[in-house]
Amino acid sequence: MAEPKAKPIGLLCEQVSSYVQVSLTKLGCDPVLIVKILSSEGCVMHLCRLVYYSKYNLTMQGDTLTGDLKQMLARAICHNSDRGITSGLIFNQTFFAQVLEGDHASVTQTFVRITSDTRHGDIVLAEMEPASERLFGKWAMGYAGNTELFKKLSAGYDGGFAPQNMPALVLTAFILVLVTDAEGIASSRRVPVG
């Protein structure tokens, strides 16, 4: 029995790029960011870092919200581990902010999946850049909720935590500090890095 022929990498990259472009266009993403995501380097297996934030789009509270977050984190840990993605996520019941790290294709596919999740509204891609090293290498999905440190750090900003007023580098550092402080809440499972 003959093995099925593998599709050439170039064809797979074209299919992924087409899917990403259609998905992001439907979501109303800025055309400049779409071009950046689909740059000619898009199919190279280099490490990249994507930073985004979104508004929490549902009205769940209390135990229902806690249960939903636990399920979301469990799925993300499995998904990210399987794809070699490392990540940090913060959530204060108003905003999600997240950093994804991994190869360009995996990070892009994960971001497209996130953009179709109804829990996220007003999604903003703050940055997607090549990275020389992982900042979140300890976590498949590091997580920090609305902790005392989160509140203390947010107090330094006029009006509290407002990711739209933070440069991507500052938002990344903010997430890293909070996830490091909350280590152990979500996965500290090592992700295989190729």
Element (H, E) at 130: strand 120-130
The pLDDT value recorded for residue 75 is 87
Number of folded domains that form the chain:
1
Q: Give the residue-averaged pLDDT of 50-77.
A: 79
- Rounded to 5 degrees, what are φ and ψ at 183? -50, 135
Q: Domain of residue 71: give its range.
A: 44-181
The pLDDT value recorded for residue 12 is 41
Q: Give the residue-averaged pLDDT of 143-161.
A: 85
Q: Is residue 139 part of a domain?
A: yes
If pLDDT is split at 50, 70 and 90, which confidence band does 62 have?
low
If pLDDT is split at 50, 70 and 90, which confidence band does 11 have?
very low
CATH number at residue 75: 3.30.70.100
Q: Is residue 157 part of a domain?
A: yes
Q: Give the residue-averaged pLDDT of 111-122.
A: 86
Give the helix ranges, DSSP H, for 27-88: 31-37, 62-83
Query: For 164-175, what is each residue's pLDDT tens digit?
Result: 999 999 999 999
Q: Which of 30-44, 79-93, 172-186 has the lowest mean pLDDT?
A: 30-44
Contact 71, 144 (CB under 8 A): no
Q: Is residue 120 part of a domain?
A: yes
Q: Is residue 94 part of a domain?
A: yes
Residue 50 scores a pLDDT above 90: yes
Q: Is residue 29 part of a domain?
A: no
Q: Give the residue-averaged pLDDT of 47-56.
A: 92
Give the Å distances, CA to CA, from 133 to 86, 123, 129, 158.
11, 25, 12, 32
Residue 90 scores a pLDDT above 70: yes
This prediction's pTM = 0.73
* Residues 94, 65, 113, 96, Cα dihedral to 10°: 20
The pLDDT value recorded for residue 67 is 74
Residue 194 scores a pLDDT above 60: no
Read off the tokens for 157.
């900003």
Decide the pairing of beta strands 47-56 and 86-91: unpaired
Q: Is residue 174 part of a domain?
A: yes
Average pLDDT, the chain: 77
Read off the tokens for 99.
């950093």
Bigger pLDDT: 65 or 188? 65
If pLDDT is split at 50, 70 and 90, which confidence band does 37 have?
low
